[in-house]
Amino acid sequence: MKVKPLADRVLVKQEKVESKTASGIIIPDTAQEKTQTAVVVAIGDDKEKIKVTVGQKVLFEKYGGTPVKIDGEDHLILKAEDIMAVIS
């Protein structure tokens, strides 16, 4: 399935959270805090508001975005204003 965000929306794929500590303790999914970093998959048409490009790693608001499942994988659709920084 192909998803194209509209206007000032950005489609991102969140990075996987490490499920094991350095000492080898496995952390269950229910106890893990969601990461706030993701990779941009697609962007909307509003080039004036969107300051990121496809492939960039970004930091976004903790409770921002709408979760969507695309081809069995979890993604988020964010407003451009929910993106706080680009990570290099």
Task: Identify residue 34 by its one-letter amino acid code.
Answer: K
* Of 74, 39, 81, 35, residue with least CA distance to 57: 39
pLDDT band at 24 (very low <50, low <70, confident <90, very high): confident
Q: What is the pLDDT of residues 41-78, one digit of tens each?
A: 999 999 899 999 999 999 999 888 999 999 999 999 99
- The answer as to whether 76 is a domain residue is yes
- The answer as to whether 46 is a domain residue is yes
- The answer as to whether 71 is a domain residue is yes
Q: Domain of 38: which CATH number?
A: 2.30.33.40
- Is 70 exceeded by the pLDDT of residue 10? yes
The percent of residues above 90 in pLDDT, for the chain, comes to 66
- The answer as to whether 24 is a domain residue is no
b/e map 18-50, b = 16+ CB within 10 Å = eeeeeeeeeeeeeeeeeebebebbbbbeeeeeb
Question: What is the domain extent for residue 68?
Answer: 9-16+30-87
- Is 80 exceeded by the pLDDT of residue 34? no
Number of domains in the chain: 1
* Of 82, 11, 13, 86, residue with least CA distance to 43: 11
- Is 70 exceeded by the pLDDT of residue 31? no
- The answer as to whether 51 is a domain residue is yes
